């Protein structure tokens, strides 16, 4: 009987998403939600407007990167990819928490899954660049 393993494999590959619960798209992500998330998770160190209380000023990220918003760097910093195992790191690794539903983002023709809250925070930071 050769059908059984095939059916098992097929059901394993089926995505576990509900038809009535569509994934958010990149268009659903905005800086307004990012501002709320920032106030809740980041403002104690970076101030609500990102200018920095005990953390660095986040309104000059683009300027520091030569005029282009350093999106990948920002996402990696929030996620914590930059600092795994660094005992000196002050900023928490937000990637270790639930950063919301995954959104598929087109990047160089490839769909990359990114957590929605990470995108919203990044959109907010992009919006406050001086
Ligand atoms: C406990 C304090 C703290 C919290 C909370 C915090 N940060 Fe930070 N953040 C820092 C510090 C301090 C740095 C400087 C690098 C380091 O020491 O880790 C930093 C660096 C950064 C950088 C890089 C800045 C640069 O100039 O390179 C970004 C971007 C950033 N934080 C975004 C965020 C976001 C978004 C949140 C909320 C999701 C957040 N931070 C929460 C303290 C914090």
Third-level CATH fold of 27-127: Cytochrome Bc1 Complex; Chain D, domain 2 (1.10.760)
Ligand 1: which atom is nearest the Cα of residue 94?
Answer: 38
CB proximity list for 77: less than 8 A, separation 6 or greater: 83, 91
Q: How many whole angstroms separate alpha carbon 62 and alpha carbon 72?
A: 12
CA angle 87, 123, 26 (to 5 degrees): 115
Can you give the pTM of this predicted structure? 0.80
Q: Which of 10-14, 44-48, 59-63, 116-120 has the lowest mean pLDDT?
A: 10-14
Alpha carbon of 51 to ligand 1 centroid (Å): 11
Alpha carbon of 46 to ligand 1 centroid (Å): 7
Mutation probe of ligand 1 site: the residue of 39, 42, 86 with most atoms within 8 A of C-beta: 42
pLDDT at 25: 62
Other beta carbons within 10 angstroms of residue 8's beta carbon come to: 10
- Which of 10-19, 21-30, 113-122 shows the highest mean pLDDT? 113-122
Alpha carbon of 8 to ligand 1 centroid (Å): 45
Q: How many whole angstroms separate alpha carbon 43 and alpha carbon 37?
A: 9
């Amino acid at each position: 009987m050769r059908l059984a393993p095939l059916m098992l494999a097929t059901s394993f590959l089926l995505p576990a998403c509900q038809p009535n619960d569509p994934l958010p798209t990149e268009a659903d992500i905005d800086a307004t939600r990012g501002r709320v998330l920032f106030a809740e998770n980041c403002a104690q160190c970076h101030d609500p407007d990102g200018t920095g209380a005990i953390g660095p000023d986040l309104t000059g990220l683009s300027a520091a990167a030569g005029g282009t918003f350093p999106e990948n760097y920002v996402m990696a910093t929030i996620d914590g990819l930059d600092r795994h195992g660094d005992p000196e790191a002050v900023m928490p690794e937000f990637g270790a928490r639930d950063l919301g539903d995954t959104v598929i983002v087109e990047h160089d023709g490839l769909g990359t899954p990114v957590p929605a809250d990470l995108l919203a925070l990044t959109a907010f930071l992009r919006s406050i660049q001086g």
